[in-house]
């Protein structure tokens, strides 16, 4: 049990490190210098793929070693919680549909008030 917890923590640390590194502006600047304009087209896909691949070991370990049950919600209240989770999933999916503008590398690396930076669309 202790070894599975340590492995889970190490996988979480690896995921967080890789995720933060690939989201950082210096990394995006390096990718833009190395790949040029092609990076604009493929960065969001690569970033999402790396995120999924690095979180899969966490999902597997949590599934394989779920740990002790801390509490059980009685049936009528459990469905409210499931409904809240479904609403959250729908809102999250909507957020992903609105996200492509956040992955434009040139816009993130450009100075404020420049044509590359674009405007804030609310």
pLDDT given at position 85: 95
- Cα separation, 4 vs 1, in Å, equals 5
At 17-76, the pLDDT tens digits run 988 888 888 888 888 888 887 777 788 788 888 888 888 888 888 888 887 888 899 999
- Cα separation, 118 vs 122, in Å, equals 13
Helix (H) or strand (E) holding 104: none
- Domain locations along the chain: 2-109
User: Taking the model in full, what pTM does it have?
Assistant: 0.58
Percentage of residues in the chain having pLDDT higher than 70: 78
In whole angstroms, how far apart are CA 12 and each of 3, 18, 51, 61, 66? 14, 10, 12, 11, 15
pLDDT given at position 104: 67
88 pLDDT more than 90: yes
Distance of CA 10 to the CA centre of its chain: 18
pLDDT given at position 117: 62
What's the start-to-end Cα distance of the chain, in Å? Answer: 48
């Amino acid at each position: 049990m202790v070894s599975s917890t340590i492995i889970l923590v190490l996988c979480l640390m690896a995921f967080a490190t890789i995720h933060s590194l690939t989201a950082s502006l210096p990394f995006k600047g390096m990718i833009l210098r190395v790949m040029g304009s092609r990076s604009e087209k493929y960065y969001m896909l690569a970033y999402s793929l790396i995120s999924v691949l690095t979180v899969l070991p966490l999902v597997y370990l949590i599934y394989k070693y779920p740990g002790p049950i801390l509490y059980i919600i009685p049936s009528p209240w459990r469905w409210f919680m499931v409904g809240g989770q479904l609403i959250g999933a729908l809102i999250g999916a909507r957020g992903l549909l609105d996200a492509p503008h956040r992955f434009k590398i040139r816009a993130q690396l450009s100075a404020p008030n420049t044509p590359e930076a674009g405007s804030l669309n609310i």
